[in-house]
A and B are shown apart, each in its own frame.
Chain A
Amino acid sequence: MTDAEPEALEESGAATDESGTEISAVSVADAVDDLSGEGLSGYNYAYLDEHTKREVRRAILKGIAIPGHQVPFASRPMPLARGWGTGGIQASLSLLGPDDAFKVIDQGSDESVNAANVRRLAETTADVETTTDATEADLIQTRHRIPEEVLDEDQILVLQVPITDALRKVDSSDAANRRRHAHANYGKMWVHLYENVVEWGEIQIAARYPAMVAGRYLMDPSPIPRWDVPKLDDADNLFVFAAGREARIYAVPPHTEVEPLAFEDEAFQVERFPDASCHSCGSTDTYLTEIETDEEDRLYVCNDTSFCLKRQDEPDLAKDHHLDREGVDWGPGTPGGPTVEGSAGESADKVATNGGDDA
């Protein structure tokens, strides 16, 4: 997108140097033409050089070995601005192989500009299949959401992370926070929660809900809604969190305990959508977003668009429909799943239908 302007400039008048003589350089348009369609030529497989990929993979392995601990990595410049998913891309491209299917989600949508571009980059440089189906993908890169459909042990979810340290909310000093992590000293975050309850009567943290990983490290789960936090606990799949700007990688390995911070008597709660269902598919057990139409009607629709499309064809499709077993405990509202621990004992149905009264 940003190429449009210089391209137009180049075409409107031939480039000249200071003395006014014409420079015989390839125009940007020609250069782009040269590149398009040639796929891998001129680039290493999956864009990054092999040393970089090994370095990223080593950081991921270290992250898996110490669940929730932030591991520094080199974070190369990528062909998009830091803060736009550069960490996620580096992790994804380091993990992808030619036989993999790749899905990219941006806040629940496969079709946002950023998601489409990241997907295209992987398609062109890593020669992978792309998909929008969460059950088909081997690797899913996501920003701010975890898919509604249950992920299995063969899948990896790469989350883009803008802010790596949950403690930065309560102390801006990274040096002090690193010391706190080293000593598992999370008193200040607990006071933050305490004062939250004092002020609001319940814990009011919309996204980036702090969670303890394996009882040791406090983790920022990236800006996923509270709805998605229970999905991190004892999941079958691997979660990789990558922050390009901050050059940090951390991970939640499969079947790791992830416990959102909460008090015994002020429990962690997911978002409540009282009496709302998806306008498109009618779901009541998915994370809904409110949209306003041109007629100024306010509607709720599923945030996870690919699952919403499936539900539109088959309204009763379970979130673990593709899995050959029962009782999958995956986030709130998994039909047939056991009660999600830590979500105020709300069962799947209660969250969806009368969750608003549970507070």
Chain B
Amino acid sequence: MTLLDASDLRRVYGDSCGDCVELTGDAAGTNQCPDCGAVVACADVSLDVEPGEVLGIVGESGSGKSSVAELLALERATDGQASGDVRLDGHDGNLLDADYETRHRLRNGAVGLVHQHVRDGLNLEFTGGGNVAEKLLAAGWRNYGDVRDRVRDLFAETEVPVERMDDPTETYSGGMQRRVQIARALATDPDVVILDEPTTGLDVSVQARVLDMFRRIQREEDVAAVVVSHDLGVVRLLADRTLVMRHGRVVETGLTDRVMEDPHHEYTQTLINSVI
């Protein structure tokens, strides 16, 4: 049984001439259409995630990883044209076509997203606890004591100092803000969590603690996850399977071990060699 099934994900920025997808991609060596200049952030991306599985997406910056993550997390498209098919077990139909209210409900329940940029994911004027509580309150929790207990548990679980939960989020360190985002994403026991660059901007020791924490919670709660990162180390540590993206296309997929130890695609080989 597949938990999350996405096919033909595509996002194009700019006025498309209609041939953009054919004229771009890995073979063409660019993601910008030579004819009309539209940027094909991602196209022909299909993937699936099993329950409890962690799927990694790696690629250089601009390869379309975040666009895929946003589509999977059912984020509202602010610009560009998006198409594709995202299906979640237990929910009918293509969720990209679902109305706002349905997507909003899903994002407050079944799907959690950890944004690449803290400002997109957290309201920095709110307290740290308030940010996590927002998710619960939006999902219909109406008992203050219950909300409070759940926030406290999540803070403890994600290793944010519980005594800081009533301080404004802008006073938190970068690592704490990242962990609050993870706490927020996990608050409503989602089926799947999308992490977009979970360790960007953190120093190595904090990165390690955030990753350890997430790996522990992911195992304990058996939540499925899609981890998007340019950092092969992150994906190697967390992911069961890996997708490699370049110029908006998936160029290689396979078990993480296999991709890391025996990369088939030329670009993957370069990518892995450059790290080691």
Contact = CB atoms under 8 A, between A and B. Distances in A.
A pairs with B: yes
Interface of A: 182-188, 190-191, 194-195, 197-199, 263-266
A191 B131 CA distance: 8
Interface string B90-134: 000000000011001000100000000000000100110111011
Contacts of B130: 191, 194-195, 198
16 contacts: A183-B100, A185-B138, A187-B134, A188-B123, A188-B134, A194-B129, A194-B130, A194-B137, A194-B144, A195-B126, A198-B130, A198-B166, A199-B166, A263-B142, A263-B144, A266-B144
Contacts of A191: 123, 126, 130-131, 133-134, 137
Interface in B146-178: 147, 166
Contact of B144 (A182, A188, A199, A264): A264
A191 B127 CA distance: 9
Contacts of B104: 183, 185
B137 A190 contact: yes
A195 B143 CA distance: 14
Contacts of B145: 265
Given A187-B108, A198-B130, 18 more contacts: A182-B100, A183-B101, A185-B104, A186-B138, A188-B134, A190-B138, A191-B130, A191-B137, A194-B130, A194-B144, A194-B147, A197-B144, A198-B127, A198-B129, A198-B166, A199-B166, A265-B144, A266-B144
Give the interface SS of chain A, mostly helix, strand, loop or mixed.
helix
A45 B266 CA distance: 84
A205 B187 CA distance: 27
A190 B134 contact: yes
A353 B64 CA distance: 66
A173 to B, nearest CB: 13
Nearest to B127: A195
B138 A194 contact: no
Contacts of A187: 108, 134-135, 137-138
Contacts, number: 52
* Residue of A184, A186, A198, A199 most packed against chain B (CB within 10 A): A198
Interface residues of B, number: 21
Contacts of A186: 138
A191 B169 CA distance: 13
A191 B147 CA distance: 11
A186 B130 CA distance: 14
A299 B127 CA distance: 40
A321 to B, nearest CB: 37
Given A183-B101, A184-B101, A194 B133 contact: yes
Contacts of A264: 142-144
Nearest to A198: B166
A264 B140 CA distance: 12
Contacts of B142: 263-264
A194 B137 CA distance: 9
A85 to B, nearest CB: 33
A172 to B, nearest CB: 12
A19 B166 CA distance: 71
Nearest to B166: A198
A184 B104 CA distance: 10
Contacts of A182: 100
B211 to A, nearest CB: 29
Nearest to A194: B133
A204 to B, nearest CB: 14
Nearest to A184: B101
Nearest to A261: B142
A264 B141 CA distance: 9
Contacts of A265: 143-145
Contacts of A194: 129-130, 133, 137, 144, 147
A264 B147 CA distance: 11
A263 B137 CA distance: 10
Nearest to B103: A183
Interface string B43-70: 0000000000000000000000000000
Complex A-B, nearest 8 residue pairs according to Cβ-Cβ distance, in ascending order = A187-B138, A190-B137, A263-B144, A264-B143, A266-B144, A191-B134, A191-B130, A194-B133
A264 B123 CA distance: 25
Contacts of B166: 198-199
* Residue of A185, A187, A199, A266 most packed against chain B (CB within 10 A): A187
Contacts of A190: 133-134, 137-138
